[in-house]
Chain A
Amino acid sequence: MATLDFVGVEKSYGAVRVLHRVDLSVADGEFLVLVGPSGCGKSTLLRSIAGLEEISSGELRIDGKRVNDMAPADRDVAMVFQSYALYPHMTVRENMAFALRLKKHPETDSRVAEAAKMLGLEPLLERLPKELSGGQRQRVAMGRAIVRRPKVFLFDEPLSNLDAALRQQLRVEIKRLQTTLRTTTVYVTHDQIEAMTLADRIVVLQGGVLQQVGSPDELYNDPTNRFVAGFIGSPTMNFLEKIEAGVVIGVRPNDVVLGAGPLRGQVEVVERMGFESMVHLRVGGEALVVRVEGEPPRGEVQLRLERFYRFDPATGARLR
């Protein structure tokens, strides 16, 4: 069992504060995804769990034990780096065995064999990283983490260097692994699809501030503010400011019904995607994207908003 607790964690570089009072608990075996735009502090938060960044104040606990001043080596966490950070002078086998070898762990060989089997790396064990493809390297990086059976897995944008097809395949693999191993996992990404598909719970960060923590469904259906609403969900939510004075209306492209209704729009562009199409409308001078199944309309259409959210234009907070 390994839980993870952030209590009022802050991090500053000189005068610049990159994390603001983060309070967060991760349950044992939970798959937590940190998501947010570049520079939002998600990587810093992850690296502070590993001990690669020191936190400026607050408390970080692994398994209920304060680890603020504990060296990375003693925290018993494993990390998969964006660059994979495989040791270039070691074979796949040596890479995976490295951590256990250091501890002279008796099960080193069997654990490596087991992990290699799990990840389909068996034929590659004697190769050097430079002889592997991107996807294979990524698997080795995961293998290196798995072998250790750590308390916590940390993933730092592990799929961002791969092409779309591979990314999708490995995403499934990561999910499968985590389901099998049930190890507490913190996963950083800027890709909200990865966040939605992998996470038990998602943490949305912006400017070093936690915006919302919740299950993918919660975040999708019940965003607490305009930022979360805009960040989660694909295609992204439309924001209309002219329909109701003093309120920003947020509506997802699939919550608009075309054909009849109080609003009127002009079709500007249609993106055909086969089964569905994205229809770009201009409504009262504002852009609105609508997802349509079947044949998209042309010219002028009538429409209504089936489901929408209301936000404060100044603070971005949800108005209920």
Chain B
Amino acid sequence: MTLLKPAKAPLPEGAATIPPGKAKTKGKAERDAQLGRRTMWGPAFALPHGLGLAIFTLLPIVVSLIISLFRWPLLGTPSFLGLGNYQRLFSDPIFGQVVVNTVLFVVLYVPLNLVVSLGLAAWLTPRIKGRHIFRVIFFIPSITPVVANVVVWRMLYQPGGFIDGTLQSTTGISAPNFLGDEHWAMMAIVVMSVWQGFGYNMLVFSAALDAVPENLTEAAAIDGANAWTIFWRIKLKLISPSIFFGTMMTLITSFQVFAQPFILTKGGPGSSTSTIVLYIYNQGFQFHQLGLASAAAWILFVIILGVTAVQFLGQKKWVHYDA
């Protein structure tokens, strides 16, 4: 790489704009530009962002890796543990349960989210009257703050709340105490999360479906394919890049689920709804064990990295990029 080194050869002020009359005296810079050689302006423009990335992303990542090797109380002196924090996490049955809970959430939430959002996107064809209004309505849960949504859902879920009240007045049976019963709590959180989260994917899928070339679907129709076949055999294949994107983003964010259990259940009853990020939050900001929290965060990072890598490897089999 041929780079101008800013520290050694700073360009004089105003060197960016080469006045036409003086072009010959600045011949070298011009030639460089014509040859497509790098000047210092590229990196200079990238510097603010690069600095931001270095300070607010890379450095914290490195520091958290270092912290994860220490017993690091918020108040007091850190002591080096090596892999002690990781050892403790792997031998801690509660952390094991927390990981299982998170995986359970992901396994339940991601397919449900995709089915609901794809289903609604498929239903919202241009033939539906007022589809824009429906789109907006379905998207509203995604843009309202989780905290507000959670408060409303608590009113639905709690004994004597909307679900329980309606059931009792119509059938006389009382609903389970959804959030106060460990067998129901995770399910209740998944349902709430799907309602909260499907809007984004729906919008992406809906846009992708609109972009499917009509001549393809028409040709299929002429060949005698019905609506189902067209959807499964043509549309779904053509929007597979969007589905891949949606699946990946949903997977990543669902591994990071936090706000719903944090507000609805505090991780309870027992540890039935504790998730990895909730565990990290509690260790870090409630119990001030920054080392343990960082180690848990790195485990989560590795899990997400692994799952994403598998996704990327698997995409060759089902994602079609050339229409």
Q: Say whether A associates with B.
A: no
